[in-house]
Amino acid sequence: MRRRAIVLDVVSTLVEGLGALGVAYGLAQVYRPLGWILGGLFVAVVGFSLSPKPGEQR
């Protein structure tokens, strides 16, 4: 059951990520530097959220 919760969490994160990427891509078409900044922030947030938290066992 725990594994299922983790899978659902990852899937929802991916879906949100795709939405954020779509928004960043649309903005990049209009204003490229802002798109690159948002893309960098998004990658940093995803990397941080996927890294194990202190004291968490994976």
21 occurs within a structural domain: yes
The arithmetic mean of pLDDT across residues 35-52, rounded, is 78
pLDDT bucket at 51, cuts 50 / 70 / 90: confident
pTM (2 d.p.): 0.36
Q: Structurally, how many domains does the chain consist of? A: 1
Give domain status of residue 57, yes or no. Answer: no
Is 54 part of any domain? no
Instruction: Round to whole Å and give the CA distance between 26 and 8.
Output: 27
Is 5 inside a domain boundary? no
Q: How many CA atoms lie within 13 A of 41 on its CB side?
A: 9
Separation CA 10–CA 55 (nearest Å): 20
Domain region containing 42: 13-47
pLDDT digits (tens, 9 = 90+) for 8-36: 888 888 888 788 778 777 766 777 676 67
Any domain includes 19 = yes
